[in-house]
Amino acid sequence: MPGELRLDPLTGEWVNIAGHRQNRPNLPTGGCPFCVGGLEAPEPYDTRWFPNRWPALEPGEPVDVAAAAASGTTTLPARGAAEVILYSPVHDASLGELGVAQIRKVVDLWAARTAALYARGDVEYVLVFESRGEEVGATIHHPHGQIYGYPFVPPAAVVEREHARHHGDTLAAEIRAELDDGRRVLFDDGQWVAWVPFASAYPYGVRIAPRSRVARLDDLDAGGRDGLASALGDVLARYDRLWRGDPAASPIFPYLMWFHQAPRVREDVDHLHLHLAPPQRSPGVLRFVAAGEVGSGTFSNPVVPEAAAEVLRSV
Ligand SMILES: [Zn+2]
Ligand SMILES: [Zn+2]
């Protein structure tokens, strides 16, 4: 049975009820399905994508969530796309260890899938993301990420766009402010910048973006893709070195990572960027999101951004 989108009458937001995904495997103990010869990778590959076998969103007749909500419809089939992106055939590698040339190939694949999903017409928003580490629910260690294609622009993207609609390119202004201050900047090659945000909601949270506005991954030219690969490789390698050697640290540094980019229907405020959010506050210690934070929508970050940046710059 496919999942369904249900409209929450209190918030007006759609929730994906995906009961069918409860049966998917947890940390398989047999052969890795992503290694060459495995279930999802029968042929040799360098990078690879394929549709998720347990999709949270499935291709089908397009759904119009705005029309549905206006007409009082509260349930829709969970239409869209759910894909898996394999970064490398090497099982024990991580995106940060792959090297800039291989990360660049992953960037090309992200861009190609973004273009392909927007060309379908039933996808309004493409979210490229990765949940790394058992702490954040990754069920297979092989280096991989995912892509969801939503039939609507999801709330986290809407919030940022609304803010930019009223204040201009807020991201470009943030980058200028961070470069002027300098204390939280981790990477700057003149084109791409990585920094710990002034008001980071996450301990060791990082943003990565091009100084000049580019709307989507598939809009990046060759130089832009090189720059993204360098910036991302630099930051992920810092994460991998951050608590290395600490006996309490997780063997794999866990993080959440997601791109925000322009929806299918673009606006001139859309500015591609990447969010990185580690779930831990110190080696092996999860930062739980507390009731006061969920209840208020106001996060409390126990690690001061300047201190996080200082240690990330030093490793
Ligand atoms: Zn593998
Ligand atoms: Zn964002």
The 10s digit of each residue's pLDDT in 125-151 is 999 999 999 888 888 999 999 999 999
CA of 257, nearest ligand number: 2
pLDDT score for 262 = 98
Share of the chain above pLDDT 70, in %: 97
Could you tell me the distance, in angstroms and rounded to a whole number, from the CA of residue 139 to the centre of ligand 2?
A: 25
pLDDT band for position 261 (cuts 50, 70, 90): very high
Most confident of 22-31, 130-139, 273-282: 273-282
How confident is the model over 232-244, as pLDDT tens digits?
A: 999 999 999 999 9
> Which whole number is the average pLDDT over 253-271?
96
The CA angle 285-243-203, to the nearest 5 degrees, is 55
pLDDT at 235: 98
Which among 150, 126, 128, 136 has a CA at the least distance from the CA of 13?
A: 150
CA 76 to chain centre: 25
- 145 and 88 Cβ atoms separated by less than 8 Å: no
**Torsion over CA: 144, 61, 1, 20 (sign):** positive
Question: Does pLDDT of 192 surpass 80?
Answer: yes
State pLDDT tens for residues 89-98: 999 999 999 9
Residue 2: per-residue pLDDT: 66
Q: Which residue has the tokens 């047999």?
A: 30
Dist. CA 122 → ligand 2 center (Å): 22
Q: Indicate whether 64 pLDDT > 60.
A: yes
Distance 281 CA to ligand 1 centre (A): 29
Across the range 224-228, mean pLDDT stands at 98
User: Mean pLDDT, the chain, as a whole number?
Assistant: 94
CA 29 to chain centre: 27
Mean pLDDT for the stretch of residues 218-222? 98
Burial 218-251 (b: 16+ CB within 10 A, else e): bbbeeebbbbbbbbbbbbbbbbbebbeeeeebbe
Q: What is the mean pLDDT of the segment spanning 269-274?
A: 97
* Helix (H) / strand (E) containing 166: helix 155-167
**pTM, whole model, 2 decimals?**
0.96
Burial label, 159 (beta-carbon count in 10 A; 0-12, 13-18, 19+): exposed
Is pLDDT of 27 > 60? no
Q: How far is the CA of 51 from the centre of ligand 1 (A)?
A: 17
What's the mean pLDDT in 262-291? Answer: 94
- Identify the pLDDT of residue 190: 97
Report CA(224)–ligand 2 centroid distance (Å): 18
Residue of 235, 234, 212 whose CA lies nearest to 223: 212
Ligand whose nearest atom lies closest to the CA of 258: 2
Residue 18: per-residue pLDDT: 86
pLDDT at 119: 96
Res 19: pLDDT: 79
Ligand nearest to the Cα of 89, by number = 1
Query: E strands of 60-219, at which residues?
Result: 75-77, 81-86, 125-132, 144-150, 185-188, 192-195, 206-210
The string of DSSP letters for 19-37 reads GGGGGS-SS-SSS-TTSTT
Q: How confident is the model at residue 21 (pLDDT cuts 50, 70, 90)?
A: low
Catalytic residues: 144
Query: Residue 28's pLDDT band (boundaries 50, 70, 90)?
Result: low
- Quote the CA–CA distance of 262 and 167 in Å, as a whole number: 17
How many CA atoms are closer than 13 Å to the CA of 129, on its beta-carbon side? 16
pLDDT at 139: 82
Tell me what percent of the residues of the chain surpass a pLDDT of 90.
Answer: 84
* pLDDT above 80 for 103: yes
